[in-house]
Homo-oligomer: A and B are copies of this chain.
Amino acid sequence: MKKRIYIYSPSGAVRDKVAFKRGVKRLNTLGYDVDVDNDALASSTRFAGDDSTRLAAIHRAAASGADVALISRGGYGLTRILQGIRYKTVAKAIERGTQFVGISDFTAFQLALFAKTGAETWAGPALCEGFGVGGEPDLVPDDIMEDCFEDLVSGQGEGTGWRQDKTPGAVEALNVHGAMVWGGNLTVLASMLGTPFFPEIKGGILFLEDIGEHPYRIERTLTQLLNAGVIGRQKAILLGQFTGYKLTPHDRGYKLQSVVDWLRGQTKVPVLTNLPYGHVQTKVLLPVGKKADLVVEGRDALLFWGH
């Protein structure tokens, strides 16, 4: 029986309807049935419908019985409706076998859900930027992303491996067993600090990515996590892809690597780099709220959560 993907829009309005359609078609080509939520293309100012519309869409996704509930796109819109989400309803849908997958603004949903219920979700693609890319010959959905997605849908996913950046201070050996994996978009994650929607996770593996944030802003936000004790409580920090920012003449050599070096100077917690996750085409799927092992040997890192 074909696996079923439910597409809904909890955040920003979908403007690129060509990408949306292309994404649905691609999922069909990959052998999935696709259900599109009635309000997936709704629009109210910058949002995919007003707050109650987007809340209803989330709850329909939970009631869909699909194998995967996949967001159409990120943007902004979840933090302002966190109070209205029926977390237990969503957690029950997950227990019944619906996997929730998304990225970026979706981090707010994932962390709040975990904080309220301990339910597990997945950081991964969104429909439009993941499966809907195209229009140019060399711009097609990424193999690795699609393979990871299929692994999740089929229940075959066991973990992910990658090569760290080769820089002084890189972590060359590490063995962490049974640590809670969590994280997502750095700015969204930090924008929940101090609220009841921020999960208190000790001894975890925290992964982070961001887009369009200058390194000084990344550093300021990491400093908040440091000063709040969040980083110090983890077994490892996995830095994913930080993209889409512009350095300026004022920086005079200050760059993303400066931030990594600085972070390593502030904490004894191992800081790994180059995790293939973020606002990039080639990305893996990562659990939020699942225990995993982490092994580093030289530049090679392996995050393993078994079946």
Contact = CB atoms under 8 A, between A and B. Distances in A.
Contact of A227 (B47, B192, B223): B192
Interface string A175-217: 0000000000000001111111110000000000000000010
A53 B284 CA distance: 42
B216 A191 contact: no
A123 to B, nearest CB: 19
Contacts of A258: 45
A73 to B, nearest CB: 11
B46 A80 contact: no
A304 interface: no
Nearest to A80: B223
A230 B197 CA distance: 15
A194 B189 CA distance: 12
B191 A198 contact: no
A262 interface: yes
B76 A15 contact: no
Contacts of A253: 45
A180 to B, nearest CB: 19
A278 interface: no
A193 B262 CA distance: 21
A220 interface: yes
A251 interface: yes
A227 B45 contact: no
Contact of A223 (B43, B191, B220, B223): B191
A267 interface: no
A282 interface: no
A246 interface: no
Contacts of A221: 191
A150 interface: no
Count chain B CB atoms within 10 A of each CB in A12, A76, A219, A224 and give the residue with the most.
Answer: A224
A254 interface: yes
A43 B79 CA distance: 38
A82 interface: yes
Interface in A205-260: 216, 219-221, 223-224, 227-228, 230, 250-254, 258
A228 B228 CA distance: 14
Contacts of A198: 194
Nearest to A247: B46
Interface of A: 12-13, 15, 43, 45-47, 76, 79-80, 82-83, 190-198, 216, 219-221, 223-224, 227-228, 230, 250-254, 258, 262
9 contacts: A15-B250, A45-B252, A45-B254, A76-B219, A79-B223, A191-B220, A194-B194, A194-B227, A194-B230
User: 8 nearest interchain CB pairs?
Assistant: A195-B227, A45-B254, A193-B194, A194-B228, A194-B194, A46-B254, A76-B216, A195-B228
